[in-house]
Amino acid sequence: MYRRFIRDAIYKVIDLPYSHATYATTTKDEPEAEPLSVTSPDSQLISAIRLNDSHAFALLMQRHLQRVLAVSQRIMGNEADADDVTQETFMRFWNYAPKWETGDPAGVRTWLNRVATNLCIDRLRRQRNVPLDEAGEIEDETPNAADTIQKQDRREVFRSLLLKLPPRQRAAIVLAYYEDMTITQVAQAMELTQGAADSLLVRGRKNLRDLLAKRGIKLEEDV
Protein backbone atom coordinates (compact mmCIF):
# COMPACT_ATOMS: atom_id res chain seq x y z
CA MET A 1 0.00 0.00 0.00
CA TYR A 2 1.31 3.43 -0.97
CA ARG A 3 2.12 5.31 2.25
CA ARG A 4 0.56 8.70 1.51
CA PHE A 5 1.37 10.04 4.95
CA ILE A 6 5.08 9.74 4.09
CA ARG A 7 4.56 11.83 0.97
CA ASP A 8 2.56 14.39 2.94
CA ALA A 9 5.24 14.58 5.63
CA ILE A 10 7.92 15.15 2.98
CA TYR A 11 5.85 17.87 1.33
CA LYS A 12 5.47 19.61 4.66
CA VAL A 13 9.23 19.67 5.13
CA ILE A 14 10.13 20.84 1.62
CA ASP A 15 7.09 23.16 1.49
CA LEU A 16 5.87 22.26 -2.01
CA PRO A 17 2.42 22.61 -3.57
CA TYR A 18 0.92 19.61 -5.32
CA SER A 19 0.62 20.12 -9.09
CA HIS A 20 -1.69 17.87 -11.10
CA ALA A 21 -0.89 19.13 -14.61
CA THR A 22 2.75 18.29 -15.16
CA TYR A 23 4.24 17.81 -18.61
CA ALA A 24 7.62 16.46 -19.59
CA THR A 25 10.11 19.17 -20.50
CA THR A 26 10.53 19.82 -24.24
CA THR A 27 12.40 22.19 -26.55
CA LYS A 28 10.83 24.51 -29.11
CA ASP A 29 11.55 22.06 -31.93
CA GLU A 30 9.95 19.10 -30.17
CA PRO A 31 6.26 18.23 -30.21
CA GLU A 32 4.27 18.87 -27.05
CA ALA A 33 4.99 16.17 -24.52
CA GLU A 34 2.45 13.90 -22.90
CA PRO A 35 1.56 14.58 -19.27
CA LEU A 36 3.78 12.74 -16.82
CA SER A 37 2.30 9.57 -15.38
CA VAL A 38 3.31 6.52 -13.36
CA THR A 39 4.61 4.97 -16.60
CA SER A 40 6.97 7.88 -17.39
CA PRO A 41 10.67 6.94 -17.30
CA ASP A 42 12.62 7.96 -14.22
CA SER A 43 14.73 10.27 -16.39
CA GLN A 44 11.66 12.31 -17.39
CA LEU A 45 10.46 12.50 -13.82
CA ILE A 46 13.87 13.68 -12.64
CA SER A 47 13.94 16.39 -15.32
CA ALA A 48 10.66 17.70 -13.97
CA ILE A 49 11.77 17.35 -10.35
CA ARG A 50 14.73 19.57 -11.17
CA LEU A 51 12.16 22.27 -11.90
CA ASN A 52 10.61 21.83 -8.43
CA ASP A 53 7.72 19.80 -9.84
CA SER A 54 6.00 18.16 -6.89
CA HIS A 55 3.73 16.00 -9.04
CA ALA A 56 6.72 14.38 -10.74
CA PHE A 57 8.23 13.82 -7.31
CA ALA A 58 5.01 12.17 -6.12
CA LEU A 59 5.03 9.87 -9.17
CA LEU A 60 8.63 8.86 -8.54
CA MET A 61 7.81 8.17 -4.89
CA GLN A 62 4.78 6.14 -5.90
CA ARG A 63 7.04 3.99 -8.09
CA HIS A 64 9.87 3.44 -5.61
CA LEU A 65 8.47 4.02 -2.13
CA GLN A 66 7.30 0.46 -1.44
CA ARG A 67 10.72 -1.03 -2.17
CA VAL A 68 12.56 1.54 -0.08
CA LEU A 69 10.10 1.04 2.76
CA ALA A 70 10.44 -2.76 2.56
CA VAL A 71 14.24 -2.58 2.65
CA SER A 72 14.11 -0.18 5.60
CA GLN A 73 11.63 -2.33 7.54
CA ARG A 74 13.67 -5.50 7.07
CA ILE A 75 16.88 -3.84 8.18
CA MET A 76 15.43 -1.77 11.05
CA GLY A 77 12.90 -4.36 12.23
CA ASN A 78 10.13 -1.86 13.03
CA GLU A 79 7.78 0.41 11.11
CA ALA A 80 8.45 3.66 12.99
CA ASP A 81 12.18 3.72 12.23
CA ALA A 82 11.57 2.45 8.70
CA ASP A 83 9.11 5.29 8.04
CA ASP A 84 11.66 7.84 9.29
CA VAL A 85 14.40 6.35 7.12
CA THR A 86 12.13 6.32 4.07
CA GLN A 87 11.14 9.95 4.54
CA GLU A 88 14.78 11.00 4.93
CA THR A 89 15.78 8.97 1.85
CA PHE A 90 13.28 10.70 -0.43
CA MET A 91 14.03 14.14 0.99
CA ARG A 92 17.68 13.52 0.21
CA PHE A 93 16.72 12.50 -3.32
CA TRP A 94 14.77 15.73 -3.75
CA ASN A 95 17.82 17.72 -2.71
CA TYR A 96 20.14 15.64 -4.86
CA ALA A 97 17.98 15.67 -8.02
CA PRO A 98 19.47 18.90 -9.48
CA LYS A 99 22.89 17.17 -9.53
CA TRP A 100 21.59 13.92 -11.02
CA GLU A 101 23.52 12.88 -14.12
CA THR A 102 21.43 11.49 -16.97
CA GLY A 103 22.43 7.94 -17.72
CA ASP A 104 23.79 7.30 -14.23
CA PRO A 105 24.58 3.53 -14.40
CA ALA A 106 23.52 3.03 -10.78
CA GLY A 107 19.95 4.11 -11.49
CA VAL A 108 17.34 5.57 -9.15
CA ARG A 109 16.57 2.27 -7.43
CA THR A 110 20.20 1.61 -6.51
CA TRP A 111 20.70 5.22 -5.36
CA LEU A 112 17.64 5.05 -3.11
CA ASN A 113 18.67 1.65 -1.71
CA ARG A 114 22.17 2.95 -1.01
CA VAL A 115 20.92 5.97 0.92
CA ALA A 116 18.26 4.00 2.81
CA THR A 117 20.72 1.23 3.71
CA ASN A 118 23.31 3.68 5.02
CA LEU A 119 20.69 5.56 7.02
CA CYS A 120 19.53 2.27 8.57
CA ILE A 121 23.05 1.19 9.44
CA ASP A 122 23.84 4.59 11.00
CA ARG A 123 20.66 4.46 13.05
CA LEU A 124 21.33 0.90 14.25
CA ARG A 125 24.90 1.79 15.14
CA ARG A 126 23.69 4.67 17.30
CA GLN A 127 21.07 2.47 18.95
CA ARG A 128 23.40 -0.43 19.72
CA ASN A 129 26.72 1.37 20.01
CA VAL A 130 28.56 -1.70 18.70
CA PRO A 131 31.16 -2.08 15.91
CA LEU A 132 29.55 -2.39 12.49
CA ASP A 133 31.64 -5.43 11.57
CA GLU A 134 31.04 -7.34 14.78
CA ALA A 135 30.63 -10.88 13.47
CA GLY A 136 31.37 -13.31 16.24
CA GLU A 137 29.11 -16.21 17.11
CA ILE A 138 25.64 -14.90 17.80
CA GLU A 139 23.79 -16.28 20.77
CA ASP A 140 20.14 -17.12 20.36
CA GLU A 141 18.54 -16.76 23.79
CA THR A 142 15.28 -18.29 22.62
CA PRO A 143 14.82 -21.88 23.89
CA ASN A 144 14.98 -24.65 21.33
CA ALA A 145 11.39 -25.19 20.27
CA ALA A 146 11.33 -27.12 17.03
CA ASP A 147 7.86 -28.46 17.79
CA THR A 148 6.53 -24.92 18.20
CA ILE A 149 8.28 -23.67 15.09
CA GLN A 150 6.41 -26.17 12.95
CA LYS A 151 3.23 -24.31 13.88
CA GLN A 152 4.72 -20.98 12.85
CA ASP A 153 5.39 -19.39 9.54
CA ARG A 154 9.05 -20.09 8.87
CA ARG A 155 9.32 -16.78 7.09
CA GLU A 156 8.51 -15.01 10.33
CA VAL A 157 11.12 -17.08 12.16
CA PHE A 158 13.66 -16.16 9.48
CA ARG A 159 12.79 -12.45 9.79
CA SER A 160 13.10 -12.52 13.58
CA LEU A 161 16.51 -14.20 13.41
CA LEU A 162 17.62 -11.82 10.65
CA LEU A 163 17.27 -8.99 13.18
CA LYS A 164 19.90 -10.68 15.37
CA LEU A 165 22.60 -10.18 12.72
CA PRO A 166 25.04 -7.26 12.88
CA PRO A 167 23.64 -4.30 10.87
CA ARG A 168 25.81 -4.59 7.77
CA GLN A 169 25.40 -8.36 7.49
CA ARG A 170 21.66 -7.88 7.80
CA ALA A 171 21.66 -5.17 5.12
CA ALA A 172 23.66 -7.33 2.71
CA ILE A 173 21.27 -10.27 3.19
CA VAL A 174 18.22 -8.03 2.65
CA LEU A 175 19.59 -6.51 -0.55
CA ALA A 176 20.79 -9.80 -2.01
CA TYR A 177 17.89 -12.10 -1.14
CA TYR A 178 14.86 -9.83 -0.70
CA GLU A 179 15.76 -7.29 -3.39
CA ASP A 180 17.37 -9.86 -5.74
CA MET A 181 20.47 -7.71 -6.21
CA THR A 182 23.66 -9.07 -7.72
CA ILE A 183 26.85 -8.90 -5.65
CA THR A 184 27.89 -5.91 -7.78
CA GLN A 185 24.65 -4.10 -6.99
CA VAL A 186 24.94 -4.94 -3.28
CA ALA A 187 28.44 -3.50 -3.27
CA GLN A 188 27.22 -0.33 -5.00
CA ALA A 189 24.28 0.07 -2.63
CA MET A 190 26.49 -0.37 0.43
CA GLU A 191 29.44 1.59 -1.00
CA LEU A 192 31.78 -1.39 -0.61
CA THR A 193 34.14 -3.35 -2.81
CA GLN A 194 32.70 -6.55 -4.24
CA GLY A 195 35.04 -8.54 -2.03
CA ALA A 196 33.83 -6.78 1.12
CA ALA A 197 30.18 -7.22 0.13
CA ASP A 198 30.75 -10.92 -0.59
CA SER A 199 32.44 -11.32 2.79
CA LEU A 200 29.45 -9.78 4.55
CA LEU A 201 27.10 -12.17 2.75
CA VAL A 202 29.24 -15.19 3.64
CA ARG A 203 29.32 -14.24 7.33
CA GLY A 204 25.65 -13.31 7.34
CA ARG A 205 24.62 -16.65 5.80
CA LYS A 206 26.77 -18.56 8.27
CA ASN A 207 25.30 -16.73 11.26
CA LEU A 208 21.75 -17.26 9.97
CA ARG A 209 22.35 -20.97 9.41
CA ASP A 210 23.74 -21.31 12.94
CA LEU A 211 20.76 -19.49 14.46
CA LEU A 212 18.28 -21.52 12.43
CA ALA A 213 20.02 -24.77 13.35
CA LYS A 214 19.50 -23.94 17.02
CA ARG A 215 15.79 -23.71 16.23
CA GLY A 216 15.77 -27.06 14.49
CA ILE A 217 15.53 -25.61 10.99
CA LYS A 218 17.85 -26.62 8.18
CA LEU A 219 17.75 -24.50 5.05
CA GLU A 220 17.61 -26.34 1.75
CA GLU A 221 18.32 -23.26 -0.38
CA ASP A 222 21.65 -21.46 -0.50
CA VAL A 223 20.96 -18.78 2.10
Q: What is the pLDDT of residues 77-117, one digit of tens each?
A: 999 999 999 999 999 999 999 888 765 656 899 899 999 99
Beta bridge partners of 35: 23
Nearest to 72 by CA among 170, 182, 187, 197: 170
Helix ranges restricted to H, the chain: 4-14, 42-49, 54-76, 79-96, 107-128, 146-149, 154-162, 167-173, 183-190, 194-214
pLDDT surpasses 90 at 218: no
pLDDT for residue 107: 86
The domains located in the chain, with CATH, are 1-129 (1.10.1740.10), 138-223 (1.10.10.10)
**24-67, pLDDT tens digit by residue?**
444 445 445 567 876 788 888 998 998 888 888 888 988 999 99
Spell out the SS3 assignment of 66-111.
HHHHHHHHHHHCCHHHHHHHHHHHHHHHHHHHHHCCCCCCCHHHHH
CB count in 10 Å sphere of residue 200 = 27
Cα–Cα distances (Å) from 205 to 15, 71, 139, in that order, read: 44, 18, 15
**10-21, pLDDT tens digit by residue?**
666 555 554 444
